[in-house]
Structure 1
């Protein structure tokens, strides 16, 4: 029997959080730099309407979510260690038509998992409940708040766009090595009880 049910977001959490920036800059004819990405919503960052963003995303989502998007440093290695003692579930807001591409991305990058859930929505609370999630690893501030307000422990991996006040169920982490140490500590504490 495995110890924890760990839910992990994909885009910005295991991947480079600014993977979309070059494509968006080119599409909207902008020159936004990483330090200016202080909001999660691409339309706000790019200074365009929500409809313009949706049009951009529909035209570019397969290109943006391809196998070449780089992983965050040590994400793969930490997940390889975590899955030895825990269940790993990827829970992503990606559009449902990206399901096969999502499986391909994880498999081609050698990322182990127990299951993948491509929700097509940013609302992850119901899936977290269904999976009996113990820890959710996320990059979206809004998702982290929503999950934490529903009783889930969240590790919020640091980005320029999520540096806002946290509540007691959210812990900011700077990298995947820190995630590993916190989960190891959680396991040690739970065994001591």
Structure 2
């Protein structure tokens, strides 16, 4: 029997958080750097109307998500974590990206017990359904919502989530730190 149910977001968590930036800069004729991406809402970072960014995303979403750079350290850690834990990917990506998402994870040798493509940023109900013990996330708002509903959250540090954490949220800076945190939780579980 596996010990923990670990839920993991995809974009910005196991992938480059700024995967969209080069394409968006070309499309909108901008020169934004990752250091300037200080908020989660991309249209505000680019200083373009939300509709214009949505049009860009809808035209390019399949290419963007197929080409996202995977974090190799994340892959290695997940390959270790799945030996003792259930790994569930829970993403806000729209449902039409489910096949692409599964293919992406498989192509990059990312193991999992389930993939949940929600089409919404609200992940609490899915976390409940999965009896989530720990959620790994990059969105500050998602982390807050999960924490306020009783879930432990590891917030992967990015330029766009630099706000004070609260409750059950711990900021992490790399996947080695995530591995160490999960190991400590496992040791505590086994000590009981």
1:168 deviates by 2.1
**Number of aligned pairs?**
192
1:158 deviates by 0.4
Secondary structure of the 1:178 match is: helix
Q: Which runs of 4+ in 1 moved over 4 A?
A: none
Q: Tell me, yes or no, if the aligned pair for 1:73 and 1:175 is still in contact at 8 Å.
A: no
Provide the aligned C-alpha RMSD in A.
0.7
Q: Tell me, yes or no, if the aligned pair for 2:11 and 2:17 is still in contact at 8 Å.
A: yes
Q: Tell me, yes or no, if the aligned pair for 2:147 and 2:168 is still in contact at 8 Å.
A: yes
Q: Deviations over 1:139-186 (max 9, x none)?
A: 000110111111100000000000101012000000000000000000
Give the alignment of 1:68-147 within 5 angstroms.
68-147=67-146
Runs of 5+ consecutive residues of structure 1 not aligned to the other structure: none
Q: Tell me, yes or no, if the aligned pair for 2:75 and 2:110 is still in contact at 8 Å.
A: yes
Q: Deviations over 1:7-64 (max 9, x none)?
A: 0000000001000000111111100001000001110100011111111111111111
Output the TM-score relative to the length of structure 1: 0.98
User: In the aligned structure 1, how far is the partner of 2:47 from the partner of 2:21?
Assistant: 13
1:191 deviates by 1.1
User: In the aligned structure 1, how far is the partner of 2:72 from the partner of 2:175?
Assistant: 7
